[in-house]
Amino acid sequence: MEIKKFSDFCEQVLPDFNKFLDDRLKSEIKQTTLRDAMLYSLDAGGKRVRPMLFLAVAYSSGVRFEDLSKYFDIAGAIELVHTYSLIHDDLPEMDNSDYRRGKLSNHKQFGVGPAVLAGDGLLTQAFYWIAKSSLDTDKRMAAVRILSHNAGPMGMVAGQMTDITMEDKLLSEDELTTLHKQKTADLITAAVTTGAFCAGHELSTNLVQYANDIGLAFQLKDDLNDADDGEDADKNTFPNLIGKKATEEKLNNLVKDAFNAVLKEEEFDKNLLVSFLDYFKE
């Protein structure tokens, strides 16, 4: 395995992957307002954590670097689903955010109707990309199954529903963990597990454990960052429920557990996934 650091991996893959996303949507979407609104959020400076994790797992499972572009449709589908979720999350009837990644949110730029449709378009296009991928049928089916299971009403959509309907209630630690697991961790878990499936690597409980741990850790880090910025004071977050220090401890424990889990993974190069854990130290 030549590339050992997650940041180096991203640096080498991202230019081609970003071009792929742009070219593909530009060639497929003919309705210009829809295309502009979809591309606006897809190109708004997201970190691409989920597709890079998917590709890193495929690479760590033995896919050659020069073959990674065959996996771009599925990596892209994961990013399309993530982008749709952010557009819809920002809507006035959801989190009501005017800004995302330092730019106007999609509905502030294009209006609520177009933003809803841009999200709808990204979500459905994701499954078109998976169906059109050149990977074997069983791999494409696994990608559809895992992504729809984790991003839909059994995962992310359920978490979002709890979030918007329980806003005024104080959640218990268990309820909050379930909410975060569904809303944030399930899509990250999907990126990791789909990467293993698509690369023909047998999925183990260790890799699932790693994925779940980093998924929850991702939300805790985001909550801690927001707490530092003085945001989310009245929301159901771990820093509000158990305090900042206990949240930091919980985050550190999740990162340690993820590290121990991935080290147990057999016939798999661990370097990239261990190196990804640096994300939580920044």
Tokens encoding 58:
């495929």
x/- site string to ligand GRG, residues 75 to 104, per CB under 6 A?
A: ----------xx-xx-----------x---
Binding ligand GRG (rule: CB under 6 A), the pick from 10, 118, 135, 156 is 156
Confirm or reject binding of residue 106 to ligand GRG (CB under 6 A): no
Indicate the residue among 85 and 236 with the shorter CB distance to ligand GRG: 85
Shortest distance, position 10 Cβ to ligand GRG, whole Å? 12
Confirm or reject binding of residue 19 to ligand GRG (CB under 6 A): no
Residue whose pair of structure tokens reads 């130290």 in the numeric block: 281
The Cα 157–Cα 144 span in angstroms is 16
Single out the segment in contact with ligand GRG by CB under 6 A; choices: 69-77, 155-163, 203-211, 234-242: 155-163
- Cα dist from 139 to 73, 75, 123, 126, 276, whole Å: 12, 13, 19, 15, 25
Confirm or reject binding of residue 160 to ligand GRG (CB under 6 A): yes
Tokens encoding 216:
């929850």
Confirm or reject binding of residue 183 to ligand GRG (CB under 6 A): yes
Which candidate, 134, 149, 132, places its Cα nearest to that of 194?
149
Structural contact between residues 155 and 147, judged by C-beta atoms closer than 8 angstroms:
no
What angle separates helix 186-198 from helix 49-60, to the nearest 10 degrees? 30
Binding site for ligand GRG (CB under 6 A): 46-47, 49, 85-86, 88-89, 101, 156-157, 160, 183-184, 218-219, 222
